Structures are given as C-alpha cells and as structure tokens.
Amino acid sequence: MKALLVVFLLFCSGVAQAQTLPTEVVDNFHKALKAGDTARVLSMLDRELIVFEYGIADLKLEAYAFAHLPIDMDQAMRTEWAVESRRMGGTGDERWVLTTYRVTGPAGANTPAIDQTTAETVILRRIGANFRIAHVHWSQAENKTGADTKK
C-alpha cells in the first residue's frame, strides 16, 4: 500500500510541475541567474533560444550560453531586480510575459551604482509538460541620474 501511495504522490508532483505558470518559469530563471546556477538556467531554455540584449543579438542557445550568460549571472548576483509591473498572455503552447523591473546595485571599483528600469519580454514555448524560454528581450530606460548604464 505504501508503494502505491508513493507512486501516486510522484504522479501528482509531475502533474503539478506540468501546470507551472509561465510567470513562475521567468521568476525561477531570474533566481537561477542570481544563484549562478548554469545548469538550472540552461534547463529552462528552449534549444531554439534567441536573446536580444541591449542591442546585441544571440541567435543560438550556444551563443548566449558561452558569451552573455556568464555576464548576466554576474550582473544578477550583484543587483536586485524588483518587479514593477507584469502582464502575461498567449494561449496553448505559446505564452509571453512582459515585465518591468527596478534594477538597483552598488557601485563597483570601476562602475557607477545601478538604478534603472529594465523592460523584459519573454516568450515561452511548451515542450512536453513544461514551458521553456524561447526568447528574451531586455532593454532599459535611462536611469534616475540621466546617464545610460548598460547591463
């Protein structure tokens, strides 16, 4: 009887994971970036990932993973991203999440303090039971001091 209960609980946990909201995937992506967890970040990305990041395009998952993912992790570890607004839409296997964040962080040895609004568009595609990130687009407004600080 205990074995049957364990199988049932495992089945239910799999079903719950399959129902993860796209916004949860986006939030978990940011948590993994902040934790510096490369494997977890990559597990959330679609193999056809395209990233537009402050005027630069990574048109393949491999390009993002080797070129900009380490920089994004470093930035996430030293900044705080507070959600200012968020909308979600789409239907079926294609969803989108639009978020604006207030991004703040201390000054570094050769960098000014960060205080900016960053806009993020994420398009997600259902692969099997889970949503994966197929596209990310980050852009920003000028910071409060009027200087344009790039990520």
Tell me the pLDDT tens digit for each residue of 72-105: 999 999 999 999 999 999 999 999 999 999 999 9
**Is the pLDDT reported for residue 1 higher than 80?**
no
Q: What is the CATH number of the domain that holds 131?
A: 3.10.450.50
In a domain, 74, yes or no: yes
91-146 pLDDT per residue, tens:
999 999 999 999 999 988 888 999 999 999 999 999 999 999 999 999 987 655 44
Q: What single-letter amino acid sits at 14?
A: G
Domain assignment of residue 72, yes or no: yes
> Does some domain include residue 90?
yes
Phi, psi angles (nearest 5°) of residue 12: -65, -40
Per-residue pLDDT band at 54 (split at 50, 70, 90): confident
The reply to whether 33 falls in a domain is yes
Question: Per DSSP, which regions of 5-129 are E strands?
Answer: 45-53, 56-58, 80-91, 94-105, 114-127
Q: How many domains does the chain have?
A: 1
Kindly state whether residue 3 falls inside one of the protein's structural domains: no
User: What pTM does this model have?
Assistant: 0.80
The letter for the amino acid at 16 is: A
> Considering the domain boundaries, does residue 41 fall inside one?
yes
Range of the domain at 130: 26-140
Residue corresponding to tokens 């409060």? 144
